[in-house]
Structure 1
Amino acid sequence: MSNEQPKTKLDTQPIALFPLGHGLFPDGLLALQLFEVRYLSMIKKVLKGDLSFGVVRLVQGAEVAKPGQEEVFETLGTMAEVIVHHQPQPGLIQIRCRGTERFRVQSAERDKTGLWMAEVNLLPGDQPEGIPSHLQPAANHLGRVIADLQKQGLDQADMPILPPYRLDESGWVANRWAEILPLSPQQKQVLLAMESPLGRLATLRDWVGELFQD
């Protein structure tokens, strides 16, 4: 487990929080169906450009609010950018989001609808870092996964991995495997918190050695 503490940008900014049972990685894809009043109100503001939101992993509680239930979540999360939205019926909005910057929560409180509002510090993104030869098989395997999905004739909108496919960057490759592999939520959170892209990929090698064998 990494003891790294990500460096923060100095300024804080207000955002809405969306606690989920799993986290979101930068450049990752997240599909959500929104029907709770707090999130329907939130997404209308987001789509107007009046509010930003981010995903944090739930440590205690459920994704759908229940009376008297306490919600506890990680303080490290990832901003989400809506790339597609659709309202199939009143009271239901479906969205697809891309993960962008990581953030750390400095303070949080609920508004009258039950929506968590927070002051957060945005964290620096991964610097492009190549993949050393002993970790290259992880990129090769991921490239084959993407090629197999493309051969299935999936529309770009239905692909579970968003382009551009940066198979030459250790951070991007590590993040995609962190999403795909059946890791525990705690393991995924450890990877999300790691500042070093190479360290993230090397940790995956330690956990799932077969990925690194051609």
Structure 2
Amino acid sequence: MQLPLFPLKLYLLPGGISTLRIFEPRYVRLVKMAMASNEGFGLCMQTDDNLCHFGSRVVITDFDQMPDGFLGITVRAIDKFVINQHWTEDDGLIMATTSIIPNWTPTEIKYIDRDLSSGLQMLFEEYPEHAAHYPQPDFEDMAWVCQRWLEILPLGTEQKQWFMSRSDHKAALSFLHSVIDEELKK
């Protein structure tokens, strides 16, 4: 699949929702392309000037004119991809051919994992502005819970890329238990 790319520090996994401000002409073109194709665009992280290998395909779910005149868009991540090849067009917009990576399979929460889910629920209660992005949170799906935790934890780019490359949520679940269970013991 060929996608226009938006390199950002934003880490969004399937099911993740965020808002973006669009003001550069190349990204206005990206929005137009995404709306015309109905395939969305790619969010990808970068280190220095190098694009990371993995990213998320997002679709635009809402948009509005912001008070400062810029375009505000709300995006939802649909799936993950790996970049096969990329190039920069004359206006600076990065395009890429990508291959879709299967999403993590929804998984019912086990008793042992309930603290991870309830901890995320408490975080959503503490930060209602973030929770507002998720009118129908799925605290019963462990894959969804893991993805939301990974999006908000202060992890390095390499760690985030590694988790994104995984075929299921098990490594993330193990990692989250080690981090969050330790925090709960304090």
Q: Assess same fold via TM > 0.5.
A: yes
Please provide the CA RMSD for this pair: 2.5
Q: Which of the two has greater helix per residue?
A: 2
The TM-score, its normalising length taken from structure 1, stands at 0.76
Partner of 1:197: 169
Bigger Rg, structure 1 or 2:
1
Q: Take 1:27 and 1:110, find their aligned partners in 2: how far apart are those partners?
A: 28
SS where residue 135 of structure 1 aligns?
helix
In 1: Cα distance, 2:166 partner to 2:36 partner? 33
- How far apart, in 1, do the equivalents of 2:39 and 2:138 lie? 29
Aligned counterparts of 1:211 and 1:169: Cα–Cα separation in 2: 22
CA contact (8 A) 1:29 1:160 kept: no
1:48-63 matches, within 5 Å, as 48-49=36-37, 52-61=40-49
| Contact kept in structure 2, 1:170 and 1:198, CA below 8 Å | no
The number of residues matched between the two structures is 186
Q: Residue in 2 aligned with 1:29? A: 17
TM superposition score normalised by structure 2: 0.87
Gaps of 5+ in 2: none
The aligned residue for residue 184 of structure 1 is 156
- Once the two structures are TM-superposed, the CA of residue 112 in structure 1 deviates from its matched residue by 1.3
- 2:105 is matched with 127
Change (3 A) 1:139 1:159: closer
Residue correspondence of structure 1 range 165-176 to structure 2 within 5 A: 165-176=137-148
Q: Which runs of 4+ in 1 moved over 6 A?
A: none
Give the equivalent residue in structure 1 for 2:178. Answer: 206
The question of 1:42 aligning with 2:20 is answered no
Deviation readout 1:67-121 (Å, 9 max, x if unpaired): xxxxx11111100111111123797211111111001111111111111111111
Larger RCO (CA under 8 A, 6+ residues apart): 1
1:109 match: secondary structure: strand
Structure 1 unpaired stretches of 5+: 1-12, 62-71
The answer to whether the Cα contact below 8 Å between 1:129 and 1:198 also exists between their aligned partners in 2 is: no
